[in-house]
Amino acid sequence: MVTARLAGIGAALPPAYEQDRLWEDVFRWHFSRSRVAQRIFTGSDVRRRHSATDPAEFKAVADWSTAERMRRYSEIAPPLGLEAVRNALEDAGTDPDEIGLLAVATCTGYRTPGLDIEIARMLPLPADTRRLLIGHTGCHAALPALATVADYVAAHDRPAALLCLELTSLHLQPATIDPEQMVSHALFADAAAAVVLRPETAAGLRVIDVDARTDTARRHQMTWDVTDLGFRMGLSPEVPDSLAEHVGPLVKDLLGRHGHDVQDVAAWAVHPGGPRILDAIEDGLGLDPSALATSRKVLAEHGNCSSATVLLVLQEILAAGPPPGPVVALAFGPGLTLYGALLE
């Protein structure tokens, strides 16, 4: 059986802004100098993050209709996504003409023809390239998308590409005293990240397995609602404890099917949803604090970029050289859903 390998990875990042300046210049006033909001921003562990929207526009964006936000998405997303995919193709030594499937995951913008069509047009991709748009799945979308792309490569013996692109800055909400909104505004950022998978004859990490857990009884703990003023995040403070409960069994099953246990894992690419989530995963798996250092670095340098973030963590890991053993990627989103991928 053909196995898909991660042959290339690339990213495209909008301008970066220091978290301290964002607080002082924008959010201090947006949240009416709330001390609660200040503590949340200070405790976010984010030092800087990327925004395709100029912070000088944030006050106006908060009052934009959803239609206005989607128009801006349609302007910004295609060139950013194109850059990320081109970088991944170059890293993989792959021409666009070789790509049999392009999957695009995004939960922050929609139109038809969509981002997948725009990327296919601009690269350009062959007319027979399949396209798959995975929408409104949230922060964990990269891993089910990776599973789908890997299955295509294995079944068709042809390279495929995955793009995760999120412009969370377009969904700044009107001023509020809701702590959940303070948390989301302190964490989320913009980014595009892409991977190219090739059949097993290529170099790179093999996609061995992907597993999931969904706790529908806790589906209310993480939400992403379409409103007249953009998309509104709901993030319960119970999420870290819920993830800690499920992550151990998920990882045990994922590794055990392939003769591994937690001690065998050489690197952890964990979606840094926030510092409390990383702490919960660390505790739930009994990991040494150093195990999630790369995830904490990505959180500090980029913020939470929704679906693109776990790929940014994976890119950091691979930049240090091929890991000497299995890699586990973990991501979490609405559902309440946990996804894990085993790479080797």
Instruction: Name the nearest CA neighbour of 222 among 209, 237, 211.
Output: 237
Residue 289 — very low, low, confident or very high, per pLDDT cuts 50/70/90? confident
Q: What's the pLDDT at 203?
A: 77
**Interval 77-122: pLDDT, tens:** 999 999 999 999 999 999 999 999 999 999 999 999 999 999 999 9
Question: How confident is the model over 268-287, as a mean pLDDT?
Answer: 97
CA 164 – CA 64 distance, rounded (Å): 24
DSSP 127-168: TT-EEEEEES--TTTHHHHHHHHHHHHHHH---EEEEEEEEG
Query: Strand, helix or coil at 70?
Result: helix
Check whether 7 has a pLDDT greater than 90: yes
Query: Considering the entire predicted model, what is its pTM?
Result: 0.97
343, 330 in Cβ contact below 8 A? Answer: no
**111, 43, 44, 48: which is closest to 75 by C-alpha?**
111
Q: Which two tokens stand for residue 299?
A: 């959180």
Point out the catalytic residue in the list 107, 139, 164, 305.
139
Pairwise CA distance, residues 255 & 328, whole Å: 9
**Residue 200 scores a pLDDT above 90:** no
**Res 202: pLDDT:** 65
Residue 169, H or E segment? none
5-198 and 205-343: identical CATH topology: yes
Task: Report whether pLDDT(301) > 80.
Answer: yes
Mean pLDDT of 130-138: 97
* Residue 107 among the catalytic residues: no
Q: Which of 335, 317, 82 is nearest to 204 (CA)?
A: 317
Amino acid at 254: L
d(CA 94, CA 335): 35
Q: Which CATH number fits domain 205-343: 1.20.1250.20, 3.40.50.740, 3.40.50.720, 3.40.47.10?
A: 3.40.47.10
Domain ranges within the chain, ordered by starting residue: 5-198, 205-343
Q: Tell me the pLDDT tens digit for each residue of 22-67.
A: 999 999 999 999 999 999 999 999 999 999 999 999 999 999 999 9
Mean pLDDT of 130-143: 97
- Distance CA(215)–CA(43), nearest Å, equals 28
pLDDT of residue 216: 97
* CA dihedral for 60, 48, 177, 238, sign (positive or negative): positive
Does 1 have pLDDT greater than 70? no
What's the CATH superfamily of 5-198?
Thiolase/Chalcone synthase (3.40.47.10)
Residue 138's pLDDT band (cuts 50, 70, 90): very high
